[in-house]
Structure 1
Amino acid sequence: MHLSRIAGGCRALQRSSPHISWKPTGKRQQTIAAEVRRSGIGLHSGAATTARLLPAMAGEGRYFVLSLGRSRIPATIEHAVNSPLCTTLCYGGAMVRTVEHLLSALEVCGVDNCRIEIEGGEEVPFLDGSAKHWVEAIVHAGMCEATDFNGNTNEKMAPFLYGPQYVCRGDSFIIAFPSSKLYITYGINFPKVPAIGCQWFSCSMDPDTYSKEIASSRSFCIYEEIQHMHDAGLIQGGSIENALVCSAVSGWLNPPLRFNNEPCRHKILDLIGDFSLFARNGHQGLPFSHIIAYKAGHSMHVDFVRRLANIW
């Protein structure tokens, strides 16, 4: 009966997209072993919020619950909506935004099923602008096998590309090639901001590499654009404590950087969080592939995942 349940789940996943083959990982779905609570300021709202990470059952996947309501907002691509400078999820009239850093950490750390309660607002606390504190909290809490209502565990499946897929706009693009390993290459280019300029970074993706090379990379912004964004109602909670600020004239205003190409590495962090929205029912979201992105961002990340999910 256990094997037939796995086979049935595999067939259901296979039907979800013509671009993907779902294969067993040889691992069981996991959840967090103990509650995690972190509080901070929302980047865009400026509101003080708290996120509580709680264990969830096998097959439930990752989902958000706001303190003002009981509706679940599944962390899946079907519920992603276009929003500036962050990734936002909406469902049943409820909304939660700036989910990408937390989801990035959960995806790579292998927390497949998780209930995420947000108190005090509709935004995940931004902390230091990276995923570092989320990873540390998850490691400290530990993980365990998730079970369903009957006490059974579920096989964890992972998506593999059938063939190359791409999305492009002008000279910005994301392309992914089939691969037996996870590999990400990202490029950015700010010709009018010499301190950033053109940067590239490539790495294989596993929990150890993510923790050492990606998780601590912080969000960044251009100083000359701050007032415009603030006037548009964005980055109300932004500060030099939670973002790197670079001037086109003066260079970095709050050094030191954690890596000489920290902005580019942060883009990989964002991409993983956005690609995690391909996950469903407690299975892996990030597809086994070599992903190459250049001058992309949240909107293009989400559009690429929509293409994979065949809801383009």
Structure 2
Amino acid sequence: MSVSSSTPISSPCDLTQGGRTLRRSLRCHGIGLHSGQATNVQLHPLSPGQGRLLQRRDLPGSAPLTLSPEVVQPSPLCTQLAQGEVSAQTVEHLLAALAARGISDVLIDLDGPEVPILDGSARDWIEAIDAVGVTPCYCREAVPTPLPEPIWIQDGEAFVAALPAPQLRLSYGIDFAAAAIGQQWHTWTPVREDFAQEIAPARTFGLAHEVESLRSRGLIRGGCLDNALVCDGDHWLNPPLRFANEPVRHKILDLVGDLSLLGPIPVAHILAYKASHRLHVRLAQCLRSRGYA
């Protein structure tokens, strides 16, 4: 990854607020996890109220896409956005980093179909954003509307829910037959624990026995041991892990990115078990339909 940067500036923020943009533009370059294509990304500041836009520089004349749950298109193993001619996949790690720094007005400028996977986490995105800095909050701090009743989205034994709570909290559970992963649960409370330290470094992961099948379907063409953890039964092919429960922390990272399509994330206890990008987005769509956006 290459990034234009200056002295790092710390810019922690509440995921439920937003109201910031970048101080300066930044650039990065990397390989798409699924497409295998090299892509250049530029992030540019926007004025208050312009929102979060995504444009494809390689599609001249196309209108920018406005980020929202409604522009998500079905895609295995990642979140893909599409509106008119413009589409982009694997946006979730970048979106999580933007949300964690409260950036609600930004132009994401790509010259290809997929956001680079970088090291498989959001750590490089957070470091790049902190390097250029973010503006102070330019809108009056709002009092988040409390969630009046639980919302559940279920598919078999997998589910994601938003439960009334006094502050934002995200809890996730996973259960894999592979012994190296097994059953894992993790809870992250943003106001108490730093995203950059606790969630952003967690990398995407996969199972060794699925690699060839996924590649035969045109997926993970850019995947390698430098940008994904690979589990082979009772061991990892590329240790060490950054956390003992790195896989479930990565699922929280994905959840933050997907829910950030709403803008600021509603104050609730978000609870997920064996969920997927599809279920995450269905919850975001349900919350938006009830006025939480």
Match of 1:40 in 2: 30
Task: Output aligned runs, 1:43-192, within 5 Å.
Answer: 43-67=33-57, 68-69=59-60, 70-119=62-111, 121-145=112-136, 153-155=138-140, 157=142, 158=144, 160-191=146-177
Q: Distance in 2 between matches of 1:103 and 1:207?
A: 21
Q: How many residues align?
A: 272
Match of 2:184 in 1: 199
Larger % of strand: which?
1
Q: Please identify, of 261-270 and 200-209, the stretch whose mean Cα deviation from structure 2 is larger.
A: 200-209
SS of the counterpart of 2:242?
coil
Whether the aligned pair in 2 keeps the contact of 1:109 and 1:207 (CA below 8 Å) is: no
Per-residue Cα deviation, 1:180-238 (whole angstroms, up to 9, x for no partner): 211011000002x0110000001201495211110000000000001010000000000
SS of the counterpart of 1:31?
coil
**What is the letter of the counterpart of residue 138 of structure 1?**
I
SS of the counterpart of 2:225?
coil
Whether the aligned pair in 1 keeps the contact of 2:35 and 2:221 (CA below 8 Å) is: yes
Match of 2:20 in 1: 30
Task: Output aligned runs, 1:272-283, within 5 Å.
Answer: 272-279=256-263
**What is the letter of the counterpart of residue 152 of structure 2?**
Y
**What is the letter of the counterpart of residue 257 of structure 1?**
L
**What is the letter of the counterpart of residue 222 of structure 1?**
L
Per-residue Cα deviation, 1:90-139 (whole angstroms, up to 9, x for no partner): 111211110000000000111111101002x1110110000000001111
Q: Distance in 1 between matches of 2:19 and 2:283?
A: 25
Using the TM superposition, give the Cα deviation of residue 173 of structure 1 relative to its aligned residue in structure 2, in angstroms. Answer: 0.7
Q: Distance in 2 between matches of 1:50 and 1:159?
A: 38
In the alignment, does 2:238 pair up with 1:239? no
SS of the counterpart of 1:107?
helix
Q: Which runs of 5+ in 2 are unaligned?
A: 1-15
Using the TM superposition, give the Cα deviation of residue 81 of structure 1 relative to its aligned residue in structure 2, in angstroms. Answer: 1.1
SS of the counterpart of 1:144?
coil
In the alignment, does 2:252 pair up with 1:268? yes
Find 1:299's aligned residue among 274, 278, 281: 278
Q: Which runs of 5+ in 1 are unaligned?
A: 1-24, 147-152
Match of 2:6 in 1: none
In the alignment, does 2:279 pair up with 1:289? no
Find 1:308's aligned residue among 273, 287, 291: 287
Q: Distance in 1 between matches of 2:85 and 2:128?
A: 30
Normalising by structure 1, we get a TM-score of: 0.83
In the alignment, does 2:215 pair up with 1:230? yes
Percentage identity across paired residues of the two chains: 42
**What is the letter of the counterpart of residue 294 of structure 1?**
Y
Match of 1:150 in 2: none
Using the TM superposition, give the Cα deviation of residue 306 of structure 1 relative to its aligned residue in structure 2, in angstroms. Answer: 1.2
Q: Distance in 2 between matches of 1:160 and 1:220?
A: 34
SS of the counterpart of 1:143?
coil
Using the TM superposition, give the Cα deviation of residue 28 of structure 1 relative to its aligned residue in structure 2, in angstroms. Answer: 7.6
Q: 1:74 to 1:28 in 2, by over 3 A?
A: closer
**What is the letter of the counterpart of residue 300 of structure 1?**
L
Bigger radius of gyration: 1
SS of the counterpart of 2:154?
strand
Match of 2:238 in 1: 254
Using the TM superposition, give the Cα deviation of residue 251 of structure 1 relative to its aligned residue in structure 2, in angstroms. Answer: 1.6
In the alignment, does 2:201 pair up with 1:210? no
SS of the counterpart of 2:77?
coil
Q: Distance in 2 between matches of 1:123 and 1:274?
A: 16
